[in-house]
A and B are shown apart, each in its own frame.
Chain A
Amino acid sequence: KAGVTQTPRYLIKTRGQQVTLSCSPISGHRSVSWYQQTPGQGLQFLFEYFSETQRNKGNFPGRFSGRQFSNSRSEMNVSTLELGDSALYLCASSARTGTNTEAFFGQGTRLTVV
């Protein structure tokens, strides 16, 4: 079955702009999580959505937001971009069956803020 799909793969934006990233989870998976990966901070949890509701949130400013649609697809938005937002943004999907199951990652969206 198809894996986690993230679009676009690469983005270049200017400081102050906003950006929307998209994630399509594995078919049947209802949980989508977002992570930011940078060389200095590693993989950091942004938030998790399940059944269109945000279930968990990491320690990121309110400029980072997300949503999930009824088909489990998710989008992440970053407003008023800063240079420090340059990172690889990863989406992971999970079946969330009541006990923890593995999270499967997409290829990521590489965001560069100039």
Chain B
Amino acid sequence: GESVGLHLPTLSVQEGDNSIINCAYSNSASDYFIWYKQESGKGPQFIIDIRSNMDKRQGQRVTVLLNKTVKHLSLQIAATQPGDSAVYFCAATHSGTYKYIFGTGTRLKVLA
């Protein structure tokens, strides 16, 4: 079956540094991708999305890169802050299904 995988279960970065979280998906038909942030005791919170007709999308302090050739996407967080500490998930779907396949999550730890 289709899957979405994250490369690292845990990522530790120094406060102020940039963070990069990677994700790979298996279904080449996937054409819409979302990154979510989940803090302890809360539901996933939308961070940024990207459609397959784009390679890059920027938000506030976050950038998502999509490489459809190798079925890989990444989330870059600039100037990482303590409040960024959470588990990050990528999710993939293809048009019209509204069925999102989630990765297993990367826990981001921000070191003071």
List residues of A whose CB falls within 8 A of some B CB: 4, 6, 31, 33, 35, 42-45, 48, 50, 55-56, 58-59, 90, 94, 96, 99-100, 102-108
Q: Are A90 and B43 in contact (CB under 8 A)?
A: yes
Q: Which of A31, A44, A104 contacts B98 (CB 8 A)?
A: A31
A96 to B41, CA, bound (A): 27
Task: Give the chain A neighbours of B61 by CB distance below 8 A.
Answer: none
Within 8 A of A (CB), among B58-107: 89, 91, 93, 95-105
18 A/B residue pairs, CB under 8 Å, sorted by A: A42-B102, A43-B44, A45-B99, A45-B101, A48-B98, A59-B1, A90-B43, A94-B98, A99-B95, A100-B98, A102-B34, A102-B46, A102-B49, A103-B34, A105-B36, A105-B45, A107-B42, A107-B43
Pairwise interchain contact B43-A100, C-beta atoms closer than 8 A: no
> A100 touches which one: B1, B32, B101, B102 (CB < 8 A)?
B32
A42, A58, A59, A104 pick with most chain B CB within 10 angstroms = A42
Known: A43-B89, A100-B93, A103-B34. A33 touches B98 (CB 8 A): yes
Chain A residues, Cβ within 8 Å of B102: 35, 42-44
Complex Cα–Cα for A25 and B28 (A):
30
Give Cα A45–Cα B3 distance, bound, in whole angstroms.
Answer: 12
Interface majority SS on B: helix, strand, loop or mixed?
loop
Q: Are A90 and B44 in contact (CB under 8 A)?
A: yes
Q: Write the residues of chain B forming the contact surface with A, with a CB cutoff of 8 angstroms.
A: 1, 31-32, 34, 36, 41-46, 49, 51, 89, 91, 93, 95-105
Given contacts A100-B93, A100-B95, A102-B34, whether A45 and B100 have CB atoms under 8 Å apart is: yes
Nearest-Cβ distance from residue B49 to partner chain A, whole angstroms = 6
Take A106-B43, A107-B42, A108-B43 as given contacts and tell me if A42 and B104 are in contact as well, using a CB distance cutoff of 8 Å: yes
Q: Which residues of A contact B46 (CB under 8 A)?
A: 102-104
Known contacts A102-B34, A102-B46; A55/B98 CB under 8 A: yes
Contact assessment for A105 and B104 in the assembled complex, using a CB-CB cutoff below 8 Å: no
